[in-house]
Amino acid sequence: MLVSDIDFTLPGYDLPSGHIHPLEQITSEIKSIFQSIGFSVAYGPEIDDDYHNFEALNVPKHHPARDMQDTFFVNPNTVLRTHTSNVQIHLMENQDPPLRHICCGRVYRNEAVSYKSFCLFNQVEGLVINENSSFAEMKGTLEYFVQEMFGEGTKMRFRPSYFPFTEPSAEVDIWNDKLNQWMEILGCGMVNPNVLANVGYDTEKYQGFAFGMGIERIAMIKYGIKDIRLFYQNDKRFLEQF
């Protein structure tokens, strides 16, 4: 075909536009909320040594808390990280307080695949370390996040819980009007002094709080999705809704 045979006045082809994956949409929204109140974003290795993934977080070898996270081992001392808390250890080893970061990325757990669990998922964890952080500050931070993410007036509650790297620890639930029940969205607590000591911080001077959430859980609650596997099947009929 010659150039002279082309009618440049005709409308172009209507090419389909792409879609940002719903997990990336939720991740961007979460980062934006926390960046608006002074948090920086940090990333770290998905393959890490046992020390950064467990021991530095007050989970020594043979500790029963390791049973909470079925782990993929590359070799006896190297794992696919089971949470993004390993990034917090790397941050604290390389930076002096104050710290105010969120850590984002994929994590891996050797769990049976079902509608509510998958062998990999995405997390966002937060860390604040300074001389005067408090449980009250943490509650205010998370209350702000919940109202921004799920809407003004969203009911939430804090429940006592246990995590080896925080003390005291809590879990946060929000009320789901559609299902008429409470739904857990994240865990949180004051950083255990043992964790601060492991990275060389003065535990008499510094304290902090941490929190962590699964991005898939947030997306499922916000969008009313009942099967976590939909995020990983690349079904265009599902993805085009977002």
Q: Does some domain include residue 32? A: yes
Q: Is pLDDT above 80 for 3? A: no
Q: Does some domain include residue 160? A: no
Q: Does some domain include residue 168? A: no
What is the per-residue DSSP string for 211-223? EEEEHHHHHHHHH
Q: Does some domain include residue 15? A: no
**What total number of domains does the chain contain?**
1
Q: Is pLDDT above 60 for 43? A: yes
Task: Convert 153-164 to b/e letters by CB count within 10 Å (16 or more is b).
Answer: eeebeeeeeebb
Per-residue pLDDT, 131: 97
Residues 85-94 have pLDDT tens digits of 999 999 999 9
What backbone phi and psi angles, to 5 degrees, belong to 168?
-75, 160
Q: Does some domain include residue 164? A: no
Task: Return the axis-axis angle of helices 135-150 and 22-35, rounded to nearest 10°.
Answer: 130
Highest mean pLDDT among 73-77, 83-87, 176-180: 83-87
Q: Does some domain include residue 80? A: yes
Q: Does some domain include residue 200? A: yes
Q: Does some domain include residue 220? A: yes
Instruction: Flag the least confident range among 7-11, 104-108, 125-129, 154-158.
Output: 7-11
Instruction: Say what the pTM is.
Output: 0.89
Provide the domain limits for residue 30. 25-149+194-232
CATH code for the domain in which residue 78 is found: 3.30.930.10
